[in-house]
Amino acid sequence: MKIHTLKLNSQASMLTTALLAYGTTAWSADLPTLRDAFKDHFLVGTAINRAVTTGRGFRRSSEQVNTDIALVKAQFNQVVAENEMKWDSLHPRPGADGYDFRAADAFVSFGLNNNMYLVGHTLVWHSQTPHWVFAGTNPPPNTASAAPGTNRFGRYNGPRASREELLQRMRDHIHTVVGRYKGKIKVWDVVNEALSDGGTNTLRTSLWTEIIGPDFIAKAFQYAHEADPDAILRYNDYGLESSAKRRKLIALIQSLQAQKVPVHAIGSQTHVSVAWPSFAEMDRALTEMATLGLPIHITELDVNSAEGGQRSFGADIANNAATTQGGLVSDADRKLAEAYAGLFRAFLKHDPQVKMVTFWGPNDANSWRANGKPLLFDGNSQPKPAFHAVLAEAKRAAAAK
Ligand code: XIL
């Protein structure tokens, strides 16, 4: 029985049918697709890793990788590299010879060969940035601040570059990377996660703020705009469902706009949980973000179903492991479906502003929060009830027109 051909007149019965059928349907190429269901509203994308772009698995068999690839091609019309365009991947060593474009080039070829809209992630971030970027001859301050690490090996604490040196490195990096993919990568995450989580400071303390100062953000956008004047330049952050963090976002973007900095879109990561936010909370978040007058991109969507992730809205990669501990919440499939339905109802309500919805991985096996089973397809690329719940929201929107 093909569950997607059943005509159901209410979302509730659709969900029940999907729950009953879950696990019994093989993944098939004639499943309805997210890209088609939302084609009148927004692009639907996914982050992909190098197994998907090269066909060579690391922890997965070649059969599993092939299924992952088939799923990506069938369901999505936009892709972003999960790690392959971060500074530590693209530019691991100093200087013009220090670039390694192999993984990023494979990503770009994959996207172009499959007619997908390409997003680049990310030019300037406090994480996954090599130590050499910040190194120089100026002594570090005596009091080590609580700024987070630059990568998983910890924060760089040695002698530092000057402001001018770091600006020069940032400009070279941005010009080289954006220039190489000009016309192919349509959207760039220029600055990632610059806002602070707690307290009253707008910006998080990082080696970028300590060495350059708060204008590192404006400079990064200016350099990216020089390198590709046609690219859509995005500011990307997490936790924007929280009103306190959203206030900081609005303050930051308004200040950039007042300085005529070329920021063209808001990226809202949307690493959320089944407990939060509801439709109403997401509706409010989008309403407030829309006051900035910029397109909104949902950039890293996943909905954590693990107990450990239900009270946190953060996405700091340093704390990630804890968010998927404690097993799944009870009735996880149904709660996930309901949470996704609420989120997509809000995205659809705001579809003049919401131009793109990107999942942070195609299926649960390829998720950074795999234990939290946060995506629409399970590890074998079988559609979960949440997939059908999301499609039901597209149908509901079409019927309401
Ligand atoms: C994550 C990747 O998914 C992991 O594979 C990697 O180990 C750490 O980074 N916010 C971001 C993404 O902007 O780049 C992060 O991606 C998830 C949080």
**pLDDT tens by residue, 84-115:** 999 999 999 998 899 999 999 999 999 999 99
In contact, 124 and 178? CB cutoff 8 Å? no
Q: How far is the CA of 108 from the centre of ligand 1 (A)?
A: 19
Superfamily of domain covering 11-400: Glycosidases (3.20.20.80)
Ligand 1, atom 5: closest residue by C-alpha: 368
Residue range 15-43: average pLDDT?
A: 71
DSSP letters, 211-230, are HT-TTHHHHHHHHHHHH-TT
Distance CA 303, CA 272 (A): 5
Q: How far is the CA of 82 from the centre of ligand 1 (A)?
A: 7
What pLDDT does 200 receive? 93
Statement: the pTM of the whole predicted model exceeds 0.85: yes
Q: How far is the CA of 132 from the centre of ligand 1 (A)?
A: 21
- The residue type at 83: N
Q: How far is the CA of 157 from the centre of ligand 1 (A)?
A: 23
Torsion sign across C-alpha atoms 179, 221, 237, 144: positive
Sheet strands (E) in 160-295: 160, 185-192, 232-237, 265-268, 271-273
In contact, 166 and 134? CB cutoff 8 Å? yes
DSSP three-state, residue 137: strand
Helix H or strand E encompassing 358: strand 354-359
Ligand 1, atom 4: closest residue by C-alpha: 368
Among the atoms of ligand 1, which is closest to the Cα of residue 125? 13
Sequence-ordered list of residues with C-beta below 8 angstroms from that of 346, at least 6 positions apart, any chain: 279, 282, 283, 286
Binding pocket residue ranges, ligand 1, CB within 6 Å: 82-83, 192, 269, 300, 315, 317, 368
Q: What is the DSSP letter of 381?
A: S
Which positions are catalytic?
193, 300
What pLDDT does 322 receive? 85
Task: Tell me the per-residue pLDDT of 210-252, one tens digit each, with 9 for 90 and over.
Answer: 999 999 999 999 999 999 999 999 999 999 999 999 999 999 9
Tell me the best of 317, 360, 363 to mutate to test the pocket of ligand 1, counting ligand atoms within 8 Å of each CB and taking the most. 317
Estimate the share of the chain in helix, then strand, then coil, as percent rounded to the nearest 5: 45, 15, 40
Tell me the best of 83, 87, 358 to mutate to test the pocket of ligand 1, counting ligand atoms within 8 Å of each CB and taking the most. 83
Domain boundaries, the chain: 11-400
